[in-house]
Structure formats: structure tokens, C-alpha cells
Chain A
Amino acid sequence: MATPGTTAAPPAAPPPPDRRRPPRGRRTTLRYGRRDRISLALMLGVPAFLVIGLVWLPAAATVLLSFTRWDGIGGLETIEWIGTQNYTDAYTLYPPFEPALRNNLVWLLFLFAVPTVLGMFFAVLLDRELRGGPVYQSVFYLPVVLSLALTGFIWQLIYSSDQGLLNAFLALVSDRPPVDWFGDPDINLYAVLVAAGWKHTGYIMLLYLAGLKAVDPSLREAAAIDGAGPVRTFTSVVFPALLPINVVVVVVTVIDALRAFDLVWIINRGRNGLELISALVTSNVIGEASRVGFGSALAVIMLAFSLVFIAIYVSTVLRGAQR
């Protein structure tokens, strides 16, 4: 009877100091002079002004514009409020919309199926003392430092229909006519995905290498003592310990798939088999006939998808930062 009372007391004790902490903080801020308060306000205020003014407010304005019709040229008074018309038009009257959605989905599934799995596999292979390990690592993440635009140019040397390596090679082994890898709408998406995956794999590998280094080695030792083989150790011990990294990888991959733009724009401005939502937005907005409201509706669809995953990401990493 006395024991529960005494054991209950210590846990009850900590909260008061916690509750007392904010006032103490406030009292110290009061001690700062005017100059200090001004510098604190500027040091946080200027960055916050830039982020909110140039990123968040425009994003919010895009949402508003998506309910309007506007050619983008006339003044703000020429904006016409049309409700959800743009959204229904996108679904019903805009032929490239459906292929773009499908291509974005294919892009996402491919990134998960090939580069993500491969990147994890490379990381597992390289996460140990291995002769030449650092060299292999460097080679795998070399494409990460090249821009996507440059990646497009480099792969053009392989895919070009008349001067590309792939067709030159195919001509040696068969006498079929050359394949237009980037031009044929049935296959160009997959050709581009190989190039995109080439870049994505290295990044995923790096994330997993960092994650694997953080896995407690005693977990593996325990698994080895219990007689688990390397595969079993990975699936039931290491992989579950990688949960936070897995969340990051999933989100990074989804967001990369959504934001994919440079490659298809370099190749054919996102047309003829390479439709992506990001390219549709861009061509609706900065093309000759700009349809601002409609382009904004497409952008809002992108925004909505990405915000879901951004929320997951931010809450995961901030919870990590709290710890």
C-alpha cells in the first residue's frame, strides 16, 4: 500500500519542471535587449518570408487559380471564376491527361520495382569490408551528380535511332529496321525509365548504406548466434530495423516520380508517349496559348498527391528529430 504510493510519486514529480520551462524561457527572452530581439526576428523572419512568400503563397494562389479561366496575359480583372470546370475538363476533354496519369503511375511502379530494389540490394552487398567496395560505390552513385537533363543527353547517344549504340549493335545481330527508342510512343517510356532508374538506384543505395550503418551490430550478432543465415538475418532482423529509412525511401521515390520532368522535356517536351503531369502543367502554362486556370488545376492534382507523402515524410523525420 505504501509502496504504490512511493513508486507513484517519482513519475508524478517530473511534469512540474517541464511545465515551468516555457515561462523560464520567456523570462530569459525578456532579458535580451532590443538589438538582440531585432536580430532574432530578422534571422528567422527573412528566411521565413522567402519560404512563405515564394513557395507557400504561390502554391496557395495556384489552388485559387485552378477554379478560374484566365489566359495569363490580361490583368487580374480578366480572371473568370468557373468553379470546378477545369477539373472536369481535365478528366473528360483533355486527351493527354489519362496517358499522363498512367505514365506517372508506371514511372512510380518502375522506380519501386527496379531501382529501389536494386539500390537496396547493392547497399546490402556493399555494406561490409570488401576489397574495392568504395570504388563500386562511387561508380553506382556517379549518375546522382549528373543532372537529369544531362542524363537525357548521355542516353541519347545510346538510344538515337540512326547514330545510337543500341541500334548499331542490333544491326550487327539482326537485320530488322532500326528502332526509334525515344520516338516510338509504345516503347519510349520504358527507354526513358532505364535512364531515370540509372540515376535513382545510386541515390537509394546511398540512403540504405547510411541506414545499414546505423543498424545496431549486436542485432546481427544475436541473429548469427541463433543460427540465422544471411537472408534470414536480413528479412527478419535488419529490414525491420530499417523502418525509418524505408519511409524516407518510399516518400523520396513517390515524390521523384511525381516531379519527374527534365528527362521527358529534353526528349520531346513530354509528348508522343512521354506525357507526364509535370510536363502537361508546364506546356499549358508557358506555351504559346497559355491556359493558366487549366494548367493550375493539373498542378493542384500534383500538389494534392505530393502533400500526402510530404506530410508522412515531415512527420516521420520531425519525430526522429524530436528524439
Chain B
Amino acid sequence: MTATTLPARRRRRIRPARAALHAFLLITALAWFFPVLWAVINSLRDYDYTTVHGYLSLGGFTLDNYANAWTQGEMPVYFANSLLITVPAVVLTLFLSSCAAFVLSNYSRRFNLLMLAVFLAANLLPPQALLVPLFRLYTSIRLPYWISESGSLYDSHMGVVLIHVAFQIGFCTFVLSNFMKAMPTSLLEAARVDGASVFQQYWKVVLPLCRPSLAALATLLVTWIYNDFFWALALLSSGDKMPITTALQNLQGAFFVDYNLLSAGSVIVALPTLIVFFLLQRHFVAGLTLGASKG
């Protein structure tokens, strides 16, 4: 009897609180979304119109900014560069860290924790703390010209890919090894009895089962590596090799800034991560909390 009256009473009492909660959330959410919305609105407006009427006006809507940002900012080149860095880096990171996680979670009991600590801590070091030696190392490693036009690892996409891989392996190995440790050992034992080699056990048994965490990590890695600004700035010198994040600076003149053009550029640059975010939201969120919820 009390069980039926109590929830009813509680629900009635809570209703104004609920309304206040919704009002609060709605207002904060709008405030949160506003900067992005403002960029989108500005990107759709004509520069001359806004200089005459001010930004707090309505009208002058156009799509020209997008066309201009695309051509003036030489977006296709920079998008290609970002693609040439992001895709190999994500694939290599996932492959190498799943290999390491496989060995650490199934074969190496003694070094397991030490190696995981070495990997995981590397992921958290400040990048600036390794900049000078890395720069020196990169310039001294000679590469044939058909791999790198600069003749060394410095100023090559491969160099940027490698440092991203080295940095991200730590986090991914940690996440994947947690995932692999939770798998039933009988699966691997069965494969061993069937005569599967170590690599076959990894490639045919363990890796397919890791698909959910691989998907989550891939989404996360794509946004991290695509968004990187520091390593591209530090390890690339020719302007035409830069990724898209640095291309926006080209749209920002030294003496005068066309903010409508800049907004259009920002929206274009944000688009790939926004698409990833909206299509793969579930994976993205799962990825962000993969490391943390284990703690």
C-alpha cells in the first residue's frame, strides 16, 4: 500500500523541480551550442553586408564564403594531407597496439604491468618535452627521395604518422589489453589445440572479437590525429604538406581578417569530425570513457 502511494506522492512533488531542471538544461545547452551556431550563421553571410550593417543584423545570406574558403584556402590540398596522415596513423596504431596487447595479455605475465606502464605513461607526456631530440633524430634519419622529398624523416608525412603512432599506442594497448584479458581463455586454448600459430591466434581468433573496442578507439583516434596541431607545426616545414588544422591560418590575413570567410573555413575543417561524431556517437563516447571507467 505504501509502495503505491509513495511514488505517486513523490512524482507530484517533484514536478516543479523537473520543470526548473529542464529550463536550466535548455538554457545552458543553448549557450553551449551558441559558438558553433554563430560560426555557422556568420559563414553564411556576405562580408560587405556585415561591414555595413554590423554583425547584429539579419540578411546578406550567401554561400560564396564556402566556395572562397575552399579555393583561397586551398582546402583540397590540406584535406589530402590530413588524410595521408590520419588514415595510416590510425590503422598502424590499432594494428601495433592490438599486437602488443595480445602478447601482454596472453603471453607475458612477468613484464605485463611494467610494459603497460611504459606504454601508458608515454601517452601522457607533454609533447614539448621531446621536441628537440626528436627534431634532431628526424633530420638525421636519411630517407630515399621517393619516400620523402626532403630526404629525411623531417618534413615528411611519414614522420608525423610515426610520432602519432608512438604516442597513441600507449592508450590503445592499455584499453585493448583490458578487453583481451576479459576474454575466455578457452578460445585461445582451442585454437592452440587446432595447431594455430601465435599470429593466427591473434589474427583469426582475438582480433575479430575486439571489433567493438577497435571501432571505439578508431573513432577517437581519427578525431585526435585529425585535430592535431602541434606535431604538424613542429615536424613539417613546407606549407604544402601541412594538415587542414593549420590551413585556417592562411585564411587569416596579417592586416585584415574576413571573419565570414574564416567561419566558413572553420565549418569546413570541423565537418569531418562532426560527421564522425554524429554517425558514430555511440562509439565515440564509449572510446572516451574506455580508459577511465576501468580505473
Contact = CB atoms under 8 A, between A and B. Distances in A.
Interface of A: 21-22, 25, 29, 32-33, 35-36, 39-40, 42-44, 46-48, 50-59, 61-62, 65, 72, 122, 125-126, 130-132, 135-136, 138-150, 153-158, 160, 163-165, 168-169, 172, 198, 203, 206-207, 209-211, 214, 244-245, 247-248, 252, 255, 258-259, 261-262, 265-266, 277-278, 281-282, 285-286, 292, 295-296, 299-300, 302-303, 306-307, 310-311, 313-314, 316-318, 320-322
Contacts of B119: 47-48, 51
A183 to B, nearest CB: 13
Interface in B228-243: 228-230, 233-234
Interface of B: 21-22, 24-25, 28-29, 32-33, 35-36, 38-39, 42, 50, 54-56, 96-97, 99-100, 102-104, 107-110, 113, 115-122, 124-137, 162-163, 165-167, 169-170, 173-174, 177-178, 181, 197-199, 202, 223, 226-230, 233-234, 245-246, 248-249, 252, 257, 259, 262-263, 265-266, 269-270, 273-274, 276-277, 281, 284-285, 288-289, 291-295
Given A22-B109, A157-B39, A316-B295, A148 B257 contact: no
A92 B261 CA distance: 45
Contacts of A281: 128-129, 131
Contacts of B163: 54
Nearest to A209: B289
A170 to B, nearest CB: 11
Nearest to B105: A321
Nearest to B106: A40
B124 A306 contact: yes
Nearest to A281: B128
Given A247-B295, A282-B234, 16 more contacts: A36-B199, A48-B115, A54-B162, A59-B129, A62-B133, A130-B22, A139-B33, A142-B277, A147-B228, A157-B38, A169-B56, A248-B292, A258-B126, A278-B128, A286-B135, A311-B121
Contacts of B113: 318, 322
B197 A262 contact: no
A140 B28 CA distance: 9
B131 A285 contact: yes
B125 A55 contact: yes
5 contacts: A43-B103, A51-B118, A54-B130, A56-B118, A140-B32
